[in-house]
Amino acid sequence: MKRRQFLQAGAFVGMASAGILSALPVSAADEAFVQPPLPYGLDGLKPFMSEEQMNFHYNKHHAGYYANLKKLVDGKPEAQWSLDDIVIKSEPGPVFNNAAQAWNHAFFWNCLAPVRKEGRPNVQNVQKLFAAIDRDFGGLAQFKEQFVAKATALFGSGWCWLAADKDGKLDILPLSNAGNPLKQGLKPLLVVDVWEHAYYIDYRNERGKFLKTFVEHIDWGFVSKNYG
């Protein structure tokens, strides 16, 4: 799935058949649950994340969730579902865990912008999103501070999300393990992976340092597209 297809597929929960990752075909497990390519090269986020870190995270951890999910749903009704549907409808357990981890990682990669030659991340037309951030957090700097604080404080493994409700109100959601805002009827806009495997090669146990760098590499164009 190409980056443009991923962006165009961003629909709100409740319409899972046209959901955020619905560009994936859903006719059979061996077709539906295919790990999408990165929207940049393995070295595309240097120096924020090294090629070694990206290779380990994308080609080992992320790929592993897709492989596990295909095995878990083989011969079951879920094999005909979209990835969105499995995340939203499945009960807690191995199928949900692997589906959500596959979904969350695919979304996470697209939240990141490679640094351009002039040294600044790619920022597109985001006035509507930034107005909502000003309204709900007091400004972009305040949002980054709150996001980093909540993600740092999340105990154990999980994901920290920026999500919107049906009225467009924004909230920061630190969710444990494979947590995803789709389960709460919210629209995911942005996420950071705070499982230790996401940063340990480059940052060791310094989650806060990783997060402070993460917020300077956000693809605000992607986040804005999700907000609508």
Cross-strand bridge partners of residue 161:
173, 191
The domain spans of the chain are 3-41+49-110, 127-227
How far from 157 is each of 93, 177, 198, CA to CA, in Å?
A: 16, 5, 10
Number of other residues whose CB lies within 10 A of the CB of residue 210: 25
Q: Domain 3-41+49-110: what homologous superfamily?
A: Fe,Mn superoxide dismutase (SOD) domain (1.10.287.990)
Distance CA(101)–CA(193), nearest Å, equals 10
First to last CA, the chain: 21
pLDDT at 47 > cutoff 50: yes
Predicted confidence (pLDDT) per residue in 103-154, tens digit:
999 999 999 998 765 656 667 678 999 999 999 999 999 999 999 999 999 9
Contact between 182 and 83 under an 8 Å Cβ cutoff? The reply is no
Higher pLDDT, 116 or 99: 99
Predicted confidence (pLDDT) per residue in 152-184, tens digit:
999 999 999 999 999 999 999 999 999 999 999
Residue range 127-227 forms a domain whose CATH class is: alpha beta
Helix %, strand %, coil % for the chain, to 5?
Answer: 50, 10, 40
